[in-house]
Chains A and B, each alone.
Chain A
């Protein structure tokens, strides 16, 4: 489903170099790729909002709402929420802490390293990223498939040489990328699932005051503030203090065109790269938008113009 990062990069380079207009480095590509992926990803939700108001056809593959849902479905996920001090946290992937990092000087022919600054709890709750390079400034992120980080033990798929561009390892643990909260449900034992209604504080006070509408275990409600869910009924004994599940959209992982340094050129290393997570049907738009940014990078107004026109044309076709 994913879009191969090398295909996109090579296509972009091909178009850029067609008339010797310039060159885009892997570092530039990775940054622009991340930006473009997020830009496309964010349009899904506004497009869905617009498409849902328009009557759709019942014909296979032509229903735009279904098509959009298919694109978003890649990022849909579910997690259970932990209860503490009267509130539920978002699913465990959100650590809520700032990024923590640790640098290790690599040693020759070593693939296993022990972290001393980053804790096992931080690793368990966050997204880990590992960078390797000559030093911290030049370290390049390696794909998640190129290492495992369990507890405080980092195991690289390939042992480091301990010199050159493998002299330094940087580990970062960032809060997992929770993007949008969806439906929140509650289940106790074998009882049926109950969906929680999201309310704001102003509404909450009225709901709690009215006997007819006050929340019950059959019809619970919640407020969502500061990454915490406060669920009602909230009595510690008779209320909801466990069994909460949240459906949410996660943020796409950053694309990574990973390379090993050759003498004259960058050599693509697929095993350490991260493909674009967007749906395969987005490949054209993705390339066009990267080209748009690439045109700015290489200072080519023609590239910008052509790419912008193509993107606009595609948007018209998609009725965005």
Chain B
């Protein structure tokens, strides 16, 4: 079904897969508008590819005479040329006459010399295809080769593109999203935007004759956002991860939208992840490191605040050789094949009675310094590539504010319960009913999102029947 026909899909196949929307010009003219119907809202900085704002665009606009060969609409690609007649056009509002009729010259165009180095003024009004009222800042000499172009061949506001240039009959126009915008839209159908959830909730669950007769929209927004936060922590899939290199300082700033970590791993040369464990009770960065006097009291500066010194705990930890804690190993982290590379000494190392399993690993440790807001790693991880998987709260960015369709019903129930539980005049049994419903739907959502597939379980269980050989 390539064309949207009233269902939830609103993009054509081409819009979704290629990020392209095409238009046909059936009436020639300038100032034509085109409405983008992508799921992705257009972002516009400038249509002048020489401008620094051009990089903000999440789309580009192309024109073509045959829909096969496309030319991007930039000031230079949409310019047109003409030669003025033998009359000098003085400074001020004056009439410019060109030798050969040119329909491509329209109001708002800059008038430049053929090299584009001098701007004489702008076209104010088109009197005919050869005469124009112009606002002239620099006198145009007689019989001069001129270039007419727009500083901005097109503009965009609210998904509405206005092409300033003249478009001939039969021209094709194409909006082309940039690659990152196309990728952001892929898989969008498995999610429902939080704005849709809020609107749907107000339509379906609020009104006369319903349990929630009226509610302020801001209350629904609050509960929907809070619900998304709660779901992000323990129900929704953790999709946030970042690849970082541990610097020689052994510290990395906590990501901007970080709420809690899921797993920290370093990446070996095969691309395999090795879990890095938290220091837990091995070490902790102190929150305060006061300077103390001889009696142990903190010392204050001239602003009456306690002064601080460098943490000795951190300094000691940074110098620590993890081998001294883990029980020793010979193969370093750089050897990805270490698991197969046994030497005679390996058999002796670490073979101690009373081995502590949580410290008997060679991947190193990390800790979170809450005061400085960063992750600290042990020295064996210096210059290593790590993957930090973490959870956010689903409210950091606009694109985050969406919920998997598998958990949409659970969010509605969460909002209903949250509103009813703080409303007056609602009987307790009704509140309880929706509390149970909320829990049941949340449980359903967790099961759905856990993505348990029977064939995968079967495959794992097959391994359980292997013969163990010694």
Per-position contact with A for B180-216: 1 when CB-CB < 8 Å, else 0?
Answer: 0000000000000001001000000000110000001
Residue in contact with A212 in the complex, picked from B208, B216, B222, CB distance below 8 Å: B222
Minimal Cβ-Cβ distance residue in B for A243: B158
With a cutoff of 8 Å between Cβ atoms, the chain B residues found around residue A213 in the complex are 218, 221-222, 225
Q: Which residue of B lies closest to A194 (CB)?
A: B195
Name the distance in Å between B393's Cβ and chain A's nearest Cβ: 10
Cα separation A212 to B395 with both chains bound (whole Å) = 8
Within the complex, what minimum Cβ distance (angstroms) separates A320 from chain B?
18
Give residues of chain A (176-232) contacting chain B, Cβ–Cβ below 8 Å.
187-191, 195, 197, 199, 203, 207, 210, 212-213, 218-219, 221
* Cα separation A221 to B219 with both chains bound (whole Å): 13
Asked whether A221 lies within 8 Å of B41 as measured between CB atoms, the reply is no
CB distance from A17 to the nearest CB of B (A): 47
B323 within 8 A of A: no
A55 within 8 Å of B by Cβ? yes
Asked whether B41 lies within 8 Å of A191 as measured between CB atoms, the reply is yes
Contact A188 to B395, CB < 8 A, known contacts A197-B217, A212-B222, A213-B222: no
Q: How far is the CB of B17 from chain A (nearest CB, A)?
A: 22
Q: Which of B157, B195, B218 is A221 in contact with, Cβ under 8 Å?
A: B218
Residue A219 contacts which of B157, B160, B217 (CB distance < 8 angstroms)? B217
Query: Is B159 part of the contact surface with A, judged by Cβ < 8 Å?
Result: yes
Chain B CB within 8 A of A15 CB: no
Is B226 engaged at the interface, CB distance under 8 Å to the other chain? Answer: yes
How would you classify the secondary structure of chain B's contact residues: helix, strand, loop or mixed?
mixed
Q: How many B residues, CB 8 Å from partner?
A: 20
Specify the chain B residue showing the minimal Cβ separation from A207: B218
Knowing A212-B226, A212-B395, A213-B222 are in contact, say whether A187-B158 is a contact too (CB < 8 A): yes
CA distance A189 to B42 in the complex (A): 11
Interface residue count for A (Cβ, 8 Å)?
Answer: 20
Residues of chain B in range 214-245 having any CB-CB distance to chain A below 8 Å: 216-218, 221-222, 225-226
Contacts of A203 in B (CB 8 A): 218
Asked if A52 CB lies within 8 Å of chain B CBs, one says yes
Assess A190 versus B160: contact at CB under 8 Å? Given A53-B208, A55-B209, A218-B195. yes
User: When chains A and B are docked, how far (Å) is the Cα of A219 from the Cα of B209?
Assistant: 25
Task: Say how far B135's CB is from chain A's closest CB, in angstroms.
Answer: 26
Instruction: Determine how close the nearest CB of chain A comes to the CB of B152; give it in whole angstroms.
Output: 16
Q: With both chains docked as a complex, state the minimum distance between the C-beta of B173 and any C-beta of chain A, in angstroms.
A: 15
A116 to chain B, nearest CB (A): 34
Identity of the chain B residue whose Cβ is nearest the Cβ of A206 in the assembled complex = B218
CA distance A187 to B158 in the complex (A): 8
Q: Could you show 9 A-B contacts with beta carbons less than 8 Å apart?
A: A52-B208, A189-B156, A190-B36, A190-B160, A197-B216, A207-B218, A213-B222, A219-B218, A219-B221
Residues on A facing B (Cβ under 8 Å): 52-53, 55, 187-191, 195, 197, 199, 203, 207, 210, 212-213, 218-219, 221, 243
Q: Which B residues form the contact surface with A (CB < 8 A)?
A: 35-36, 41, 156-160, 195, 198, 208-209, 216-218, 221-222, 225-226, 395
